[in-house]
Chains A and B, each alone.
Chain A
Amino acid sequence: MGSNANTQEANAHLTTPTRLTGSEIVWATLVGEGVTDVFGYPGGAILPVYDALRKFPIHHTLVRHEQGAAHMADGYARASGKVGVAIATSGPGATNLVTGIATAMLDSIPMVCITGNVSSKVLGTDAFQEVDITGITLPVTKHNFLISRTEEIAPALRQAFQIARSGRPGPVLVDITKDAQQGKAIFDFATAKPRAYRPHPMLNVEQHGLESAVELIRNAKRPIILAGHGVTESGAMEQVRTLAERTQIPVALTLLGLGAFPASHPLNLGMMGMHGEAWVNHAIQEADLLIACGMRFDDRVTGTLASYATKAKKIHIEVDPAEINKNVKVDVALVGDLREVLEELLPRIGGRDGSAWLKTIEASKGASAVRDIKNLPDDGHLYAAHVVHDLWRITEGEAVVVTDVGQHQMWEAQYFHHEKPRSLITSGGLGTMGFALPAAIGAKTACPEKEVWVIAGDGGFQMTAAELSTIVQEKLKINIAIINNGYLGMVRQWQEFFYERNYESTPLVSPDFVKLADAHGISGRAVRTRAEVESAVHEARTAPGAFLINFLVEKEDSVYPMIPAGSALHEMIRRPDHDPLLESPEDL
């Protein structure tokens, strides 16, 4: 896919075949693939590779835990569209990568992980720090390689990059034995090129499928476009927008779709699913046509399948044939790269009057459009939604926001309005707590010119807080907003709703995050009232280095609306009426 291609032209000098060590071949191949930054942690079985690093124009970020390396490579890829690269040693180094690899797998992120392994002659003997990492990562990688011969390194790595970035992107792991790193072989970047990319043989965009789609769109009275992560991955933002504008069909977004269609666009309905706005989910349930673009009908967006959009015909445009009819039976499947399919489809589609349906949806917003707070009087309470809303307003929506997983993630999705793709980086499929801080390091490394904000809960932040040192060592300007409610908030919310408020193991004692930041040499301050939010955000933005704000928010606030797991999409738990959280008209 074009958007995932690292540039190769600048490295034409690599075409001269040279005799190199396996370790040098690793770096030379990375340079050839256009890699400029890697994230890793050295150790015995990868030491030869580290020994050769200084000869190559690649910046290495030393992480504090290999999980961080994988999330950084992931965040780097999400922010830039390029392939992220993580490096670890054998054994525990390799297993520590696994959560990060699975995170990338579930969200289709192009990533290459390189691990060292023990020498080939002791493979399988339980040698020191030996682990079968290709076996362990088999179900969470798109593909992996076990390389035990020096001459196999370059072809395997090049194929890994091709696999990672092609079709539906994903992580690839290349495990290289120590003797292969130490051996010598002729390195020739050009002849190590991977065999021709083979598109999935079940890709299928047939004439009659396109015609059926056109027919369904023409006859639909209540159509909705469902836009997912595939819009960004495929680079189909313009095509989706053209489709929506020409046909006047409103667009609902998945969590990972946020930013792929501008939040301010009149046809943008907002986020669908478990914590989507009421009118979005109601509209989906009332729709007579769903045009699913690069999304996979995940259980978090469908609710119970038996009652999902029963009145709607479904068109599914998707690059992965295994996703067709997996969760939701569709009427027309256009299996191919989203941008290419839409480019075939658009010339056949004419203008359409969608005003009646848009008016119906607008009317259904009614009271529910008066969402939680945006401008609550400063009465001593600080709500997370305040913080997110103000962050959005003050940064004028220009920041790249990297969230962790939980309540704050959903509030971010609801209150930070993303106009551009790759401006929200979040773990959707796997829901990996601890993702935000390292992923933000990756994002900032990829886009040093951009303002990067971490929004994390007090729980998730502590899972990978050690990476604060990495921020300092790398001198990165990253702003950190901790939404601190003293609970594992989302779990507490489930306990409140579904487990009779039995708050078992969710109250959380945390360190003083400002002092913790200070211990790392990072400035910070605590915020307890809304009146302080603006000045704190301003202070963070103008501080020369990284800055941490500890937002001590209302402890037992919940994310509304919410569809309980296993319920129908329209069966939402709404914010109780007596709750004081209403926004004032001037904030609307």
Chain B
Amino acid sequence: MLHTFVAYVEDLPGVLTRVASLFRRLNININSLTVGRSERPGLSRLTLVCEASAEAGHRIQASLFKLENVVDVDDIAQAPSVTRELALIKVAATPQNRSQIFELVEVFRARIVDLAPESLMIEMTGVESKIEGLIQVLNEGEERILEICRSGKMTMRRGHHTSRVLRAMGAGAAERPVSEDDPANAVEESADIEPA
């Protein structure tokens, strides 16, 4: 199954190697790893996604905690949470076919962040399936993708909401995870809960 770990680690040289080395030793491939500063001074926050057996979660979390530079570890598992990914996509585009891409970008609630004579750059934030959706549409159309840069997943647990609030937000019952893999969910979800 897909595991998502969120960890606070000390912002020091070599810490990422220690974290990555743990997965290397278990022969587990890291699907995505996102690291950046956190709200806690001197600590970075990382989101790590990997494929491993269901039972492996406990041991990975316990092993991460054994690393001296790891301060906090959360095994998100099925808990209600919000996951986002940022993608920059550079597409070959001429003045003749730009408008098509503009339409597409509008539908996917993405943004154009760079416009050059022969290309443009799309910035999109969302769940993985939404980004996959845009890439698929671009690939299937006339457009030629020149470059893709994806941040990997960032995950944060939801706050403690009543189920009524969550329903109003379109996120389902409090304890039910939001299905992020269902492409049909993607655009709708973004419309409902993503701030503009």
Contact = CB atoms under 8 A, between A and B. Distances in A.
A200 B67 CA distance: 10
A201 B65 contact: yes
Nearest to A172: B68
A138 B62 contact: no
Contacts of B68: 142-143, 163
Nearest to A167: B66
B109 interface: no
A174 B4 CA distance: 33
A320 B66 contact: yes
Interface in B51-67: 55, 58-59, 61-63, 65-67
B14 A325 contact: no
B27 to A, nearest CB: 13
Nearest to B24: A139
Interface in A124-157: 134-135, 138-139, 142-143, 146
Contacts of A146: 13-14
Interface in B17-44: 17-18, 21, 25
A322 B64 CA distance: 9
B17 A325 contact: no
A326 B59 contact: yes
A139 B59 contact: no
Nearest to A329: B55
Contacts of A143: 67-68
Nearest to B18: A138
Nearest to A335: B62
A321 B18 contact: no
Contacts of A134: 14
Contacts of B13: 146
Contacts of A325: 55, 58-59
A190 to B, nearest CB: 22
Given A138-B18, A324-B58, A325-B55, A200 B66 contact: yes
A202 interface: yes
Nearest to B61: A202
B68 to A, nearest CB: 4
A202 B14 contact: no
**Interface secondary structure of B, over-half rule:** helix
Interface residues of A, number: 17
Nearest to B58: A325
Contacts of A324: 58, 62
A200 B62 contact: yes
A326 B55 CA distance: 9
A201 B72 CA distance: 9
Nearest to A326: B59
A322 B59 contact: yes
B65 to A, nearest CB: 6
Contacts of A142: 66, 68
B62 A321 contact: yes
| Chain A CB within 10 Å, residue with most, of B17, B68, B72 | B68
Contacts of B62: 200, 202, 320-322, 324
A179 B17 CA distance: 25
A315 B196 CA distance: 53
A197 to B, nearest CB: 11
A325 B53 CA distance: 13
Given A325-B55, A325-B59, A138 B21 contact: yes
B28 to A, nearest CB: 14
B154 to A, nearest CB: 23
B83 to A, nearest CB: 24
Contacts of B58: 321, 324-325
Contacts of B17: 135, 138
Contacts of B18: 138
Contacts of B73: 201
Interface in A308-364: 320-322, 324-326
Contacts of B66: 142, 200, 320, 322
B63 A322 contact: yes
A22 to B, nearest CB: 19
A321 B21 contact: no
Contacts of A321: 58, 62, 65
Contacts of A202: 61-62, 65
B55 A139 contact: no
A304 B62 CA distance: 25
Complex A-B, nearest 9 residue pairs according to Cβ-Cβ distance, in ascending order: A322-B62, A321-B62, A143-B68, A322-B63, A202-B62, A322-B59, A200-B65, A138-B21, A201-B65
18 contacts: A134-B14, A135-B17, A138-B17, A139-B21, A139-B25, A142-B66, A142-B68, A143-B67, A146-B13, A201-B65, A201-B72, A202-B62, A202-B65, A320-B66, A321-B65, A322-B62, A322-B66, A326-B59
Given A324-B62, A325-B58, 18 more contacts: A135-B17, A138-B18, A139-B21, A139-B25, A142-B68, A143-B67, A143-B68, A146-B13, A200-B65, A201-B65, A202-B62, A320-B62, A321-B62, A322-B59, A322-B62, A322-B66, A325-B55, A326-B59
